[in-house]
Chain A
Amino acid sequence: MLKRISALVLAGATALTLTACGGGDGSAAKGGDGALVMGFAQVGAESGWRTANTKSVQESAKSAGVELKFSDAQQKQENQIKAIRSYIQQKVDVIAFSPVVESGWDTVLKEAKDANIPVILTDRAVDSKDTSLYKTFLGSDFIEEGRKAGKWLVEEYKDSKDPVNIVELQGTTGSAPANDRKAGFAEVVSADSKFNVIASQSGDFTRAKGKEVMEAFLKANPKIDVLYAHNDDMGLGAIEAIEGAGKVPGKDIKIITVDAVHDGMQALADGKINYIVECSPLLGPQLMDLAKKVVKGEQVPARVVTEETTFTQEQAKQALPTRQY
C-alpha cells in the first residue's frame, strides 16, 4: 500500500515537473514533404533569457519552414544526451543543442557523426578536442562582451585623472560567462592604472545575491565610483542596495551590466543603469540559416558570433517599446 502511494506521488511529482518545464514539442512524425528536420536539445527554462531563446528558435523554425523536434533537458546532461540519441534514432537532418556543461560530450557526438548527422552548438561551447565532432558554434562572445563594457568605461573617464574605484559582481563562480566577462573587462581596464577593481565577488547571477553582496561592498568601501555586474539581474539588486545607502544609482555610482533583458532596459531608460552590453538570446534566425547551409553541405565558419549591440540610456528609450524580451 505504502509503495503504491509513494509510486503515485512520485508519478505525480514527475508529471508536475514535466508540465512546468515542457515547451512546445515538435510533431512526432518526420516530415514527408522533404522539409528539413531539426532536433533541438534545450538546456531548460531556468531564466527569462532562456525562455526568450527557446521562443526565438521555435518561431524562426516555423517561419523558415524547418520541422523542429524540441526537448527540454531541465538542466541535466543525461537528459540532453538521451534527447540527442533519440534524434539520431529518428534520423533527423541536423541536431542543434546548448550544452548544459562543457565536458563529457565526445561519445554521443561521435554517434551523431557516425550517423552522418551534422551538429550545431548554440549559446554554449563544449571542451572537446576533436572539433570535427560539430560543424559550428553559434553564440555570444563573452570575452568581447567584457571588453565592450571596459571600453565604455575607458571612454567615459577619458578626461579624468583621478583614480576610479570599481566593484564587480561576478556571475556563478566557474561558469563560462562569469570567467570570460571578467577577463575581457580586466583586459581593457588594466591598461590604465587609474582603474582599480577594489572588490569582486560572486552574486550568482541573481537579484537577491546581487543586493546582498552590494550592501557589503558599500559598507566596506566608502568610495565606489563604478559597478560592473555580469548580468542585469545582479545590477538590479545592487541598485536597491545603492538606493538604500542613500546614493543615486547611475549618478553617484555608475553602473554597467550585461544582457539587456526587459527589466534591465527599463532601468537603463530610467537612468539607473548607465550602459548595457547586449547578450542576445534571439539566435533562432541565424541558427536556421546555418542549419540549411550545413545540410546542403556548404562550408560554414567554425565560430559564428551572435549579432549583438550595446545600449546607452538614449538608445534604451528608443529600443524599449519594440523589445521582444
Chain B
Amino acid sequence: MNAVVRHRLFWPAVTLAGLLLLNLVFTDHFFSVQMKDGHLYGSLIDVVRFGAPLILVAAGMTLVIATGGIDLSVGSVVAIAGALACLRISDLDDQGSTGGVLAAIGVALALSLALGAWNGFLVAGAGIQPIVATLILMVAGRGLAQLVTDGQIITVNSAPYKLIGGGYWLTLPFGIIVVAAVLALTAFLTRRLALGLLIESVGGNAEASRLAGIRSRGLIVTVYAFCALCAGIAGLMISSNVSSADGNNAGLWIELDAILAVVIGGTSLAGGRFSLGGTVLGALIIQTLTTTIYSIGVPPETTLLFKALVVTVVCLVQSPAFRKKAFHRRARTASPRPAADEKVKVTA
C-alpha cells in the first residue's frame, strides 16, 4: 500500500480519478461511449481526441525540460506547421490527392524540425539561455505564421488531411493512434536504449556529462528538434480538426499548458529526470478539466479561477513538503520519514 502511495504517478492519477468522479456526479452520460457512424463517440473520447495535441507537445517538452531547458516556441511552431500545410494543400489542383497532402505534411514537418534545430543551436551552440532562445521564436514565429497565411484563415477541403486530426481509423480517432505511436517510439528510445539516461545526465550537469564523454551539444539539438517535431504534428492535428489554419490563434498559450502538464506529471523543471507517463497523465488532467468545465457549465467569467484552484490543489498535494506539514502533524509518526527527494515547483 505504502509503495503505491509513494509512487510518483500516484497523486496525478488520484487527481484524474477525482475529476472523472466529479463528472460522474454532475454530468449525465459523461461515461457513455457509443458507436456512431462506425466510430466511438462520447465525452471520454473527446477528452483524448482534443487532448492529443497537448499530449504530443507536452511529451516533447518533457525531454527538453529533462535537459534542464524549456521551449516556449512550441505554440508558434504549432501555428506555422498548420499554416504551411494548409497553404500547400490549398494550392493543390486536387485537394483530395493523397500524394499532394503527404508532400504538404512533409514540408511542414521538415520546417518544424529545422525550427527546433535552430532553437537547439541557440541553446547548445551559442549558449543562450533556453527561455530567451526559444522566446525569440515564440514571438517571431507567430509573425511567420501570419506571413504564411497573409493574416487570413486558410480553409481547406481535403479528405486525407482531415483524417489526421478529425478522422477515425479502426473506430478510434486517428490522432490518438498517432500520439500512441509517437509515445511508444519515445518510450522505447529513452527507456529501452540509453538515450533517456544520457538526456537526464545532460540535464543533471551538462559540463560533467561532456567530460564523461557524452556529446551533450548534439543531444540538446536533437531534443529541441524532437520537441518542435512533436509541436509540428500537433499543429497539423489542430488545423486538420477544423480544416483550416489560423495563424493568430492556433496553439496560442499551448506552451504554458504543456509546461503545466509536465510539472503536474512530476517532472522537475530543474531537469535531470523525467516521467513520460506522468506527462501524459498531466495532459489528460488538463484536458479533462477543460471538458469538465464545458460539461458542468462553469460560467466563463469564473473558468480561469476554477482552473487555478484545481491546479493549485494538484500542486499542493504533490508537494511532499506540503503533505508532510498538512497530514503528518496530527499523525506524529514515531519514525521520521526520509526527506523527500522531489519537489514540485509551479510558476504557471
Are A and B a genuine interacting pair, yes or no? yes
Residues of A within 8 A of B (CB): 2, 5-6, 9-10, 12-14, 16-21, 45-48, 50-51, 170, 173-174, 199-202, 204-208, 211-213, 215-217, 219-220, 222, 233, 236-237, 240, 244-246, 263
Contact with A along B234-249 (1 / 0, CB 8 A): 0000100111101011
Name B27's contact: one of A18, A51, A220, A263 (CB within 8 Å): A220
Contacts of B30 in A (CB 8 A): 219-220
Contacts of B153 in A (CB 8 A): 47-48, 207, 233, 263
A221 CA to B9 CA, complexed, in Å: 34
A246 CA to B147 CA, complexed, in Å: 37
Asked if A216 and B295 make an inter-chain contact with CB atoms under 8 angstroms apart, the answer reads yes
Identify which of B120-128, B218-226, B322-330, B337-345 touches chain A.
B120-128
Asked if B37 CB lies within 8 Å of chain A CBs, one says yes
Asked if B128 and A6 make an inter-chain contact with CB atoms under 8 angstroms apart, the answer reads yes
A14 CA to B144 CA, complexed, in Å: 11
Asked if B43 and A173 make an inter-chain contact with CB atoms under 8 angstroms apart, the answer reads no
Identify which of B12-20, B257-265, B297-305 touches chain A.
B297-305
Asked if B46 and A219 make an inter-chain contact with CB atoms under 8 angstroms apart, the answer reads yes
Asked if A9 and B122 make an inter-chain contact with CB atoms under 8 angstroms apart, the answer reads yes
Asked if A13 and B28 make an inter-chain contact with CB atoms under 8 angstroms apart, the answer reads no
Give the shortest distance, in Å, between B205 (CB) and chain A (any CB). Answer: 21
Contacts of B246 in A (CB 8 A): 206-208, 233
Asked if B143 and A215 make an inter-chain contact with CB atoms under 8 angstroms apart, the answer reads no
Known: A47-B153, A200-B297. 6 other contacts (CB 8 A): A17-B140, A20-B144, A51-B151, A212-B50, A216-B43, A240-B242
Asked if A219 and B152 make an inter-chain contact with CB atoms under 8 angstroms apart, the answer reads no
Q: Indicate whether A45 sits within 8 Å of B146 (C-beta atoms), given known contacts A208-B241, A215-B46.
A: yes
Asked if B7 CB lies within 8 Å of chain A CBs, one says no
Asked if B232 CB lies within 8 Å of chain A CBs, one says no
A260 CA to B164 CA, complexed, in Å: 29
Asked if B43 and A202 make an inter-chain contact with CB atoms under 8 angstroms apart, the answer reads no
Name B243's contact: one of A50, A173, A240 (CB within 8 Å): A240
A174 CA to B299 CA, complexed, in Å: 12
Asked if A13 and B248 make an inter-chain contact with CB atoms under 8 angstroms apart, the answer reads no
Among residues of A, the one whose C-beta sits closest to the C-beta of B298 is: A201
Asked if B238 and A208 make an inter-chain contact with CB atoms under 8 angstroms apart, the answer reads yes
Most chain B CB within 10 A, of A47, A216, A233, A236, is at A216
B135-162 interface (Cβ within 8 A of A): 136-137, 139-140, 143-144, 146-147, 150-153, 155
Name A13's contact: one of B139, B291, B293 (CB within 8 Å): B139
Name A48's contact: one of B37, B50, B151 (CB within 8 Å): B151
Asked if B249 and A206 make an inter-chain contact with CB atoms under 8 angstroms apart, the answer reads yes
Contact with A along B165-182 (1 / 0, CB 8 A): 010000000000000000
The 8 closest A-B pairs by CB, nearest first: A20-B143, A216-B294, A17-B143, A13-B140, A45-B151, A202-B300, A207-B242, A20-B147
Would you mind naming 13 contact pairs between A and B with Cβ atoms under 8 Å apart? A9-B122, A17-B140, A21-B146, A46-B151, A48-B151, A51-B152, A173-B303, A208-B249, A211-B242, A216-B291, A220-B295, A236-B244, A245-B41
Name B127's contact: one of A2, A46, A216, A237 (CB within 8 Å): A2
Give the shortest distance, in Å, between B295 (CB) and chain A (any CB). Answer: 4
B277-309 interface (Cβ within 8 A of A): 290-291, 293-297, 299-301, 303
Asked if B106 CB lies within 8 Å of chain A CBs, one says no
Among residues of B, the one whose C-beta sits closest to the C-beta of A205 is: B249
Name A208's contact: one of B41, B242, B290 (CB within 8 Å): B242
Asked if B139 and A208 make an inter-chain contact with CB atoms under 8 angstroms apart, the answer reads no
Name B294's contact: one of A10, A46, A201, A237 (CB within 8 Å): A201
Asked if B297 and A201 make an inter-chain contact with CB atoms under 8 angstroms apart, the answer reads yes
Asked if A220 and B28 make an inter-chain contact with CB atoms under 8 angstroms apart, the answer reads yes
Asked if B143 and A204 make an inter-chain contact with CB atoms under 8 angstroms apart, the answer reads no
Asked if B132 CB lies within 8 Å of chain A CBs, one says yes
Contacts of B248 in A (CB 8 A): 46-47
Asked if B238 and A20 make an inter-chain contact with CB atoms under 8 angstroms apart, the answer reads no
